Each structure stands twice: as C-alpha cells, then as structure tokens.
Amino acid sequence: MVSSRAGVILATFLVIVPMAFGAGTQKVASKITYQNSIAPPPNGYIHEGEVKSDLKKCERDRTVRLYGEGVDEPFGKDKTNADGEYRITLGQDGLVTDYYTRVRVLHKGSVTCKGAESKHKPLD
C-alpha cells in the first residue's frame, strides 16, 4: 500500500518528468510564401506573403525576416497579422540578386511551430 505522501510524489513525478522531456508537445509545420513588386516612389520595393500552417496560432504573430542572397543580416522584418500575412517595404538601396524570407521555430504552450524558408526569388 502506498502512503498518501508517496502518492503525491509519484503523481508529481509522472507529470513533471514527461514535460521536461517534451512529451505532449505537438510539432506543426509552417510554410512561408513570398512575392515582391516595385511600388512608385517613395515606397520602394514591397516584399509580402503569408505564413501558412494547419494551426492558426502558428500563422499569426510570427516574425518574418527578409534576407538577400549572400547577406547574413536581414534587410527588414514584420509580424504577421491574424491571417498570417506580412509586408516589408524597403528603399531602393541594398539591392541584391535574390531575396527570401524566413520564420524561426516558435514555441506556443504545448505547440512547437516549425520554422520555414521561402523560395529565393529575384526582384520582379
């Protein structure tokens, strides 16, 4: 027979240990789309798209970063709206041949939203 104190310790162990090792965490794939266009001055270049996932919580409030081919630092960033859409506007300086966007892995409670990278695309 197990005492009540031992039962509490056992129950706590059974709850905390799986949490420490990531048990119960749902990993959800993310996909990011990207397109660009040239807007009339002074707007410059518009880079926009959306983050898609099977779970809405993995689409909204994600930080999207815009990178250029061969450049380590992002040119700009934006947060997705409730529909997963983002828009990054740049001036005409810092032009590179191809651009792409990324979202990093994001942990939201028991859900892990996977990171993603868009296709690399030249300016239209």
Tell me the per-residue pLDDT of 71-106, one tens digit each, with 9 for 90 and over: 888 989 999 999 999 999 887 655 667 889 999 999
Rounded CA gap, 79 and 83, in Å?
11
Cα radius of gyration rounded to whole Å, the chain: 21
In the prediction, which pLDDT does 98 show?
86
Question: Parallel, antiparallel, or unpaired for β 111-113 and 26-28?
Answer: parallel
Show the low-confidence residues of the chain (pLDDT under 50): 7-21
Q: Please report the pLDDT score of residue 107 as a whole number.
A: 94
The domains located in the chain, with CATH, are 25-122 (2.60.40.10)
pTM of the model as a whole: 0.73
